Structure 1
């Protein structure tokens, strides 16, 4: 692959040298303009590809990004089941590396809390979350939820025996989260 890039660079350099030599021999300004346009084209193409690859790349999630409160992502699946899950489940991961899963009654009062520890396994593109010692156990909470990174955000997927995949997104907090 490196050889291909080297050959590509040599060809680009060779063509631009031809434009310079033709300008030097003939003093025709068209060859000077072709040389400038040629390098301008490649520079803008490279810059465009760089910007497009940045926009299309998955977000990088750091340990600090993971801390916070999470709620059911109703955008993944719409309907009564998603609304019910949204009203009844949430969790948070705090900076003391503690995991707390909340289950609510219909009146939004806390029905139960399920606490556990959090470990971050490094060596991946983003830290891998591992939930340990969850007490009492809950059928939604999985010890190693799947982190899914999108272009601008991320979410967690828990595999529940009762509900299948349960999607949690981080709660937006701040002055612009209401808009």
Structure 2
């Protein structure tokens, strides 16, 4: 799969199959990300109602096969979006981002 800019835009939710059921369910019920065309990644807290908790500007980086995001560095960002995510591609138009949280470890966000 080759990921282009257009593929990246959208809402990302926690994948329930890549981590322990209890932890991934809790993360899924509490957090989601959105990548917008304005080049801001927005992190939302979903419990009770969806509300913005942080945002960070991003740019696209070209690697040999895909466009992935790189976040602006800022130590004040929420622990989930403090570092650049890793893009993982799978066959048949499927990919996901892994964010390394200092509190939760790896968080697997898949496009909704």
TM-score bracket for this pair, using the shorter chain length: 0.7 to 0.9
Distance 1:139-1:86 versus aligned 2 partners, 3 A rule: same
Gap regions ≥5 residues in structure 2: none
Higher relative contact order (CA 8 A, sep 6+): 2
Segments of 4+ moved more than 3 angstroms: 133-136
Report if aligned partners of 2:3, 2:68 keep a CA contact under 8 Å in 1. no
- Give the secondary structure class of the aligned counterpart of 2:7: helix
Question: Out of 110, 114, 121, which is 2:50 matched to?
Answer: 110
Matches within 5 A, 1:45-84: 59-84=1-26
Superposition deviation, residue 123 in structure 1: 3.5
SS in 1 for 2:27: helix
- For residue 124 of structure 1, report the CA deviation from its aligned partner: 3.0
Distance 1:137 1:144, change over 3 A: same
Matched, 1:140 2:80: yes
Asked whether the equivalents of residues 54 and 77 of structure 2 are also in contact (C-alpha less than 8 Å), the reply is yes
Which of 87, 94, 108 matches 1:167?
108
User: TM-score, normalised to structure 1's length?
Assistant: 0.57
The change in CA–CA distance for 1:116 and 1:133 in structure 2 (over 3 A counts) is farther
Note the residue ranges of structure 1 that are not aligned, 5 or more in a row: 1-58, 172-179
Is the deviation greater in 65-74 or in 122-131?
A: 122-131
Which is strand-richer, 1 or 2?
Answer: 2
Greater helix proportion: 1
Q: CA deviation at 1:135?
A: 8.9
Aligned-residue RMSD, C-alpha: 1.9
- 1:3-49 CA distance string (max 9 Å, x none): xxxxxxxxxxxxxxxxxxxxxxxxxxxxxxxxxxxxxxxxxxxxxxx
- In 2, are the aligned partners of 1:114 and 1:135 still within 8 Å (CA)? no
Count matched residues. Answer: 111
